[in-house]
Amino acid sequence: MTPADKLYMQRALELAKLGSGYTSPNPMVGCVVVHEGRIIGEGWHKAYGGPHAEVNAIAAVADKSLLPRSRVYVTLEPCSHFGKTPPCADLLISSGVRDVVICNTDPNPLVAGRGIKKLLEVGAQVEVGVLEEEGLDLNKRFFTFHTTKRPFILLKWAETADGFVAGPNCAQVQISGKLSQRLVHKWRAEEQAILVGTRTALHDNPRLNTRHWSGKSPLRLVIDRQLQLPGHLHLFDKSHPTVVYNYKKQEEHENLYFVQLQEEEPLLSQIMQDLYQRKVLSVMVEGGTYLLDSLLQEGLWDEAMVFRSMSQRIGEGIKAPAMLNGQLQEVQSIGSDQLFHYKNRRQLTVSS
Ligand code: AOF
Ligand code: ZN
């Protein structure tokens, strides 16, 4: 890998990011075409269902006769399947491209190495793994979804300076400040779904929508095993789709999807299977402590964002979840809160 390879792949990754928020459940992909040290075409996957990055990049090249002597940088293995668009590997081959640099292979079972195979079969030079880590991070939701067959799981909670998430008897306490709340709404817009447990739904009566940030509201998910939650809760206002995981009934009406799970099977893995089938690539879990602790204990999470108030103390109440196997990435000050960003150490070792 030359310094120039890194530079062009960096550019391709930047282009890929321009699709952020529009490509899901597809990944973000960027592509750069370089001829004799000059970029002659660029493109990215702009939106789900639309042309892939390579199609846009090749279309942007004015003089197509330069393609057989160009090097193409693409952040994801060119696809090999007929999906919403014809295979990108075929496009590159028929355009005369014989030199391709790839950041990540595509874990989608429809592709999974077949794109690279097609290129090698026509004698193309293919280099894989340039800025691999950056690419894995950029499309962490897509890679987690395809490699683990469950959504990418982001845990989020806010705790007081003395380590509580709620007062005695689950009394709601406003812990994080305005800036932190706004950040949470930004994350809501970025993830496809939000999950809460029964007690959080009951005691906090959350709306789980994106009010303090522009962007779409996620799919709402709530666990209500015995269907005991009252119908007047905001979660049941039918304003947007809500899945209710329970043991009692399977039923759908007006944005409410009751999904019946088996009592004798593990609850969390059934939820993850359902989300995989729904093609939900990512889920943020916003509480409560019991649900967060269960996910932490089962190692069923990828990243965690924990707000800790620097001043608020309540002395008693519901204890914050116990971080387990988290590798601290960063601590930021957000107004009067501190934000701790963790990654699951187990996940880190599995992927490396
Ligand atoms: C590429 N370049 O820019 C993207 C790729 O339904 P389709 O036809 O859009 O195919 C979606 C799959 O194609 C997606 O899951 C992933 O495997 C791959 N995405 N491939 O060559 C691109 N976005
Ligand atoms: Zn493609």
| Cα(254)–Cα(80) distance, integer angstroms | 39
Atom of ligand 1 nearest to the CA of 50: 9
Q: Which ligand is nearest to the CA of 52?
A: 1
Which candidate, 47, 315, 4, 326, places its Cα nearest to that of 161?
315
Taking each helix axis from N to C terminus, what angle separates 267-277 and 289-298, rounded to the nearest 10 degrees? 80
Q: Out of 42, 54, 77, 190, which one is annotated catalytic?
A: 54
Q: Which ligand is nearest to the CA of 106?
A: 1
What is the largest distance, in Å, between two alpha-carbon atoms of the chain?
73
Helices 53-60 and 3-17, interaxial angle, to 10°?
A: 110
Ligand nearest to the CA of 23: 1
Mutate to test the pocket of ligand 1, among 76, 84, 142 (most ligand atoms within 8 A of CB): 76
Index of the ligand 1 atom closest to the CA of residue 28: 23
Q: State in Å: Cα 54 to ligand 2 middle.
A: 7
Residue 161: what residue type?
A: A
Q: Which ligand is nearest to the CA of 108?
A: 1
* Residue owning the nearest CA to atom 23 of ligand 1: 52
User: Using one digit for the tens of pLDDT, what is the confidence trace for 225-270?
Assistant: 999 999 999 999 999 999 999 999 999 999 999 999 999 999 999 9
Whether omega for the bond prior to residue 25 falls within 30 degrees of 0, making it cis, is yes
Cα of 82 to ligand 2 centre, how many Å? 9
Regions of the chain where pLDDT drops below 70: 347-352
pLDDT score, position 349: 52
Average pLDDT, the chain: 93
Place of tokens 């890194």: 6
- Residue 73 near residue 42 (C-beta atoms within 8 A): no
The rounded Å distance from CA 21 to ligand 1 centre is 15
Give the CA-trace dihedral at 340, 324, 326, 179, to 10 degrees.
-20
**Residue with CA closest to ligand 1 atom 12:** 26
Per DSSP bridges, beta strands 38-44 and 30-35 are antiparallel
Instruction: Locate the ligand 1 atom nearest the alpha carbon of residue 142 and give its number.
Output: 15
- Name every protein residue with a CB atom under 6 angstroms from any ligand 1 atom: 26-27, 29, 45, 52-54, 76, 78-79, 83-85, 88, 106, 108, 111
Predicted local confidence at residue 348, as pLDDT: 57
- At residue 351, the pLDDT reads 42
Q: Secondary structure of the chain in the HEC alphabet?
A: CCHHHHHHHHHHHHHHHCCCCCCCCCCCCEEEEEECCEEEEEEECCCCCCCCHHHHHHHHCCCHHHHHHCEEEEEECCCCCCCCCCCHHHHHHHCCCCEEEEEECCCCCCCCCHHHHHHHHCCCEEEECCCHHHHHHHCHHHHHHHHHCCCEEEEEEEECCCCEEECHHHCCCCCCCHHHHHHHHHHHHHCCEEEECHHHHHHHCCCCCCCCCCCCCCEEEEECCCCCCCCCCHHHCCCCCEEEEECCCCEEECCEEEEECCCCCCHHHHHHHHHHHCCCCEEEECCCHHHHHHHHHHCCCCEEEEEEECCCCCCCCEECCCCCCEEEEEEEEECCEEEEEEEEHHHHHHHC
- The atom number, within ligand 1, closest to the CA of 53 reads 3
Phi and psi torsions of 43, nearest 5°: -165, 165
Spacing, Cα 36 to ligand 1 middle (Å): 28
Q: What ipTM, to 2 d.p.?
A: 0.89
| Whole-number Å distance between alpha carbons of 322 and 301 | 13
**First CA to last CA distance, the chain:** 19
Is residue 54 annotated as a catalytic residue, yes or no? yes
* Encoded tokens for 257: 């999807």
Minimum CA distance residue for ligand 1 atom 20: 79
In a mutational test of the pocket of ligand 1, which residue from 23, 26, 75, 108 has the highest number of ligand atoms less than 8 Å from its CB? Answer: 26
State the distance from the centre of ligand 2 to the C-alpha of 277, rounded, in angstroms. 22
Ligand 1 centre distance from Cα of residue 20 (Å): 14
